[in-house]
Amino acid sequence: MHKGPRDWRVPPNLAVDALEHDAFSWDVARAWLDGLPGGRGLNIAHEAVDRHADGASGTRTAIRWLGKHGERENLTYEDLRRRTNRMAHVLEDLGIRRGDAVFTLTGRVPELYATAFGTLKAGAVLSPLFSAFGPEPVRQRLEIGRGRVLVTGRAAYERKIAGIRDRLPHLEHVLLTDVPAGAPPPAGTLSLASLMADADDTYVIGPTDPQEPALLHFTSGTTGTPKGAVHVHEAVVMHHATGRFALDLHPGDIFWCTADPGWVTGTSYGIITPLTHGITSIVDEAEFDADRWYRILSGERVSVWYTAPTAVRRLMRLGEEPARDADLSALRFVASVGEPLNPEAVVWGSDALGLPVHDNWWQTETGGIMIANTIAADVKPGSMGRPLPGVEAAVLSHGPDGVVTHDGEVEVLPAGHEGELALRPGWPSMFRGYLHDDERYRRCFAGGWYLTGDLVTRDADGYYWFLGRSDDVIKSSGHLIGPFEVESTLLEHPAVAEAGVIGKPDPLAGEIVKAFVVVKPRVRADDALSRELIGFGRSRLGAAVAPRELGFVDDLPHTRSGKIMRRLLRARELGLAVGDLSTLEGEETT
């Protein structure tokens, strides 16, 4: 076990030195990868699997799989090459061709990783779905993506797919991961194990243009039809580079990304990035369990851990003792993404883990980490960090209707001003479009910038600070109030486990700040505590920004990926019916 806070500045990856000068370019990052032999292009699967299997790393463990019932399986890079080769043949034998969509609806099982890289080897497009989705969100995504193949488990097929199969005209093949070879699968499905057993384990990846579609990620947006963001094979340049810059991956690291593979983080950094570095990736099939997580960090000697603020806050509820009782001596870097990381969580990491938690920022559309607190720079608790090498960011003037433009030009704001975060296009993992929606894609750009929809401010040191989504920001008596700032302040109170903040309509102020608070165990949630918390907020934020109203709840609504659903809190406050809420928020609530 650790003996208190450690030195945060362990020797960083030398590549991070590029943060301090202008020597970096994306051509430099491309040179860190091999490319297909003979100059035949760039393929994600080759960079993540085959190039390591061909050399001395072939016998190194690529994936250490931990089953939810205690099972363990180590897959070397050579094992993974053979399995992915078989999968590529399986898909081709089923008639899948370059550009066809292969969907997955599984948990963290070895078959998922074979499917992912086998799909990419075959030149098809991988679209992973969150395994907890119900039938309707699955149907929507399969329909938009025109999925020809779905890889899933038997129970998921029977509960979610069989009843809607006749509404999926493009779906030709359903491959079940848990039907043993030789066993009869349910009608209308195939046993993946049987198909793999009969497939050749040698395969030559065909020429792959770096701009060929490779990944189809659906946004976890909470309104309207899901948007399918298309990413190309060149994205692997970004995945690999940010593994060095933002996650400080070194040879020999044991890496654990807790994100579900159905989300972009779980694919970009749970599947692809660690393997491009030739290191060992921990894959845990089970869902969150604090005791189990500490056992994995300790027993598997995890050195780099990438998780989510929601998970960090759940661990914080348990206090520091469970972390202090675990042997975390191998752990040297912790990062978090998914929603802004409250400053209190950064401090808790230092106290409980002996390391700060490094926040970073990116989106489904960016495909990779863009802004980060890195191991080579000071951590500013509450900040998203600074743009990574090769990333140009700016704060643009933002009005009630979005970014302000004059004759197509935008205004870039100096440090200290609030506006919309924008990025200069050109990084390798930038999405290339929304599937079947060119107009929506065009609206994401203005004046030569990609518009993120996030409101931020930048300080004099170049660190960015998240204020909220443009439609989350509270407008009260002429003030623009970021809910994240208020939530983070409330979390500093020892009674608060989690907080969600919204703007409540008010006839005089336009909106007032209302907070929903989850208290820690054994804390009495009563009027006295409510008054104390409101006073606590005013003393730190001022009367104009602090909550005017406060309510206690047992839990906050989250998206499937863990983000606080402020819109749902707002809708409940306005008294919308359950049916209205489902329309407003789609299927993303938990």
CA contacts within 13 A on the Cβ side of 152: 28
Using DSSP bridges, classify how beta strands 213-218 and 228-232 pair: parallel, antiparallel or unpaired. antiparallel
**Count of CB atoms situated within 10 Å of the CB of 291:** 10
Residue 6 confidence (pLDDT): 36
Phi, psi dihedral angles at 419 (to 5 degrees): -170, -165
| Mean per-residue pLDDT pooled into runs of 10, the chain (590 residues) | 37 47 85 97 98 94 97 98 98 97 97 98 96 86 96 96 95 98 96 98 98 91 72 98 97 96 94 98 95 97 94 88 94 90 89 95 96 94 94 90 82 94 97 95 95 93 87 68 82 93 83 93 95 92 87 86 78 61 34
CA contacts within 13 A on the Cβ side of 460: 0
Are 58 and 78 within 8 A, CB to CB?
A: yes
Residue 66, helix vs strand vs coil = strand
Residue 547 confidence (pLDDT): 94
CATH class of the domain at 474-556: alpha beta
Residue 468 confidence (pLDDT): 75
Residue 544 confidence (pLDDT): 76
Residue 132 confidence (pLDDT): 81
User: How far is 37 from 41, CA to CA, in rounded Å?
Assistant: 8
Burial label, 272 (beta-carbon count in 10 A; 0-12, 13-18, 19+) = buried
Domain ranges of the chain: 474-556
User: How far is 407 from 448, CA to CA, in rounded Å?
Assistant: 13
Q: Which residue has the tokens 């006295």?
A: 528
Q: Provide CB contacts within 8 A for 373, sequence distance 6+.
A: 335, 356, 358, 359, 360, 379, 380, 383, 384, 385, 386
* The two structure tokens encoding residue 241: 């580079």
Tell me the helices (H) and strands (E) count for the chain, helix number first.
20, 31
Are 253 and 279 within 8 A, CB to CB?
A: yes
pTM: 0.83
User: How far is 463 from 184, CA to CA, in rounded Å?
Assistant: 58
Residue 582 confidence (pLDDT): 34
Residue 451, helix vs strand vs coil = strand
User: How far is 286 from 293, CA to CA, in rounded Å?
Assistant: 10
CA contacts within 13 A on the Cβ side of 552: 16
Q: Provide CB contacts within 8 A for 290, sequence distance 6+.
A: 314, 315, 318, 322
